[in-house]
Amino acid sequence: MFHWRAGILPGVSAAFTDAGAGNLALHVGDDPAAVQERRRRVEQSIGVAPQSLRFMNQVHGANVAVMDAGSPSPEADGMVSRGLPLAVMVADCIPVLLAGTAATGPVLAAVHAGRPGVASGVLPAAVDRMASLGASGIRAWLGPSICGACYEVPAALRDEVAELVPASWSATSWGTPALDLPAGARSQLEAAGVQVEYSGTCTLETESLYSYRRNRNTGRFAGVVWCHD
Ligand SMILES: [Zn+2]
């Protein structure tokens, strides 16, 4: 069910699911009841209450929502909470989980960082929102995503994104223009004073993960961050 799972702070854990957990997205034409059942199984496996794991309607923007107990599922690409469990869904984009500590306890974030999100600064925006809740010592875990040697893009698009985020400039292993989103994300996080603790493998090259580029009509795996005793 999990590609990677670890304790990241005292009382806080993070994980990235794999295809063994099944598709966790409601927007890819899968049976909604089956998706909800898979989400329940993930919640059970990490030991959080049923339906407490918060998902967002991801729109490739830079909006970051601060989640309270009653908040509806936001239209956003980042969520920040004072401990509510958060999830981000991906299949090639980067699932980024962040955690920091405030006087009130852990501050968590889950961010969907695809090409538009990296270009528009959704990661620095999430770090700002965490800091606004008093978080310090913020660290980040970058889950599996398409790598800089696989993510081929038109030359003009590479130029456009690399002008905004120079570290994202890349070439494929076969020599054509590419973007290295994990490198771009890392540079943005480090510039914001955040230490990157983990960076995942390539989705396109890893059969046990979902990859939009490999199988267009595919499911989504998830990055999940939660608090526990
Ligand atoms: Zn790759």
DSSP for 191-222?
HTTPEEEEE--BSTT-TTS--TTTSSS---EE
- Whole-number Å distance, alpha carbon 201 to ligand 1 midpoint, is 8
Strand 136-142 vs strand 195-199: parallel, antiparallel, or unpaired? parallel
- Whole-number Å distance, alpha carbon 203 to ligand 1 midpoint, is 7
Tell me the HSE value of 136 on the side-chain side, using a 13 A CA sphere. 3
pLDDT digits (tens, 9 = 90+) for 54-74: 999 999 999 999 999 999 999
Q: How far is Cα 218 from Cα 67, in angstroms, rounded to an integer?
A: 28
pLDDT digits (tens, 9 = 90+) for 170-229: 999 999 999 999 999 999 999 999 999 999 999 999 999 999 999 988 999 999 999 998
- Whole-number Å distance, alpha carbon 117 to ligand 1 midpoint, is 19
Look at residue 216 in the predicted model and tell me its pLDDT: 85
Residue (of 110, 53, 41, 58) closest to 84 by Cα position: 53
Q: How far is Cα 81 from Cα 15, in angstroms, rounded to an integer?
A: 17
* Percent of the chain residues topping a pLDDT of 90: 98
Look at residue 130 in the predicted model and tell me its pLDDT: 98
Domains contained in the chain, CATH given: 2-149+195-227 (3.60.140.10)
Q: How far is Cα 178 from Cα 148, in angstroms, rounded to an integer?
A: 6
8 A C-beta contact, residue 56 and residue 90 = no
Query: pTM to 2 decimals?
Result: 0.98
Helices 181-191 and 122-132: crossing angle, nearest 10°?
30
Look at residue 217 in the predicted model and tell me its pLDDT: 85
- Whole-number Å distance, alpha carbon 144 to ligand 1 midpoint, is 10
- Whole-number Å distance, alpha carbon 147 to ligand 1 midpoint, is 4
Mean pLDDT to the nearest integer, 129-156: 98
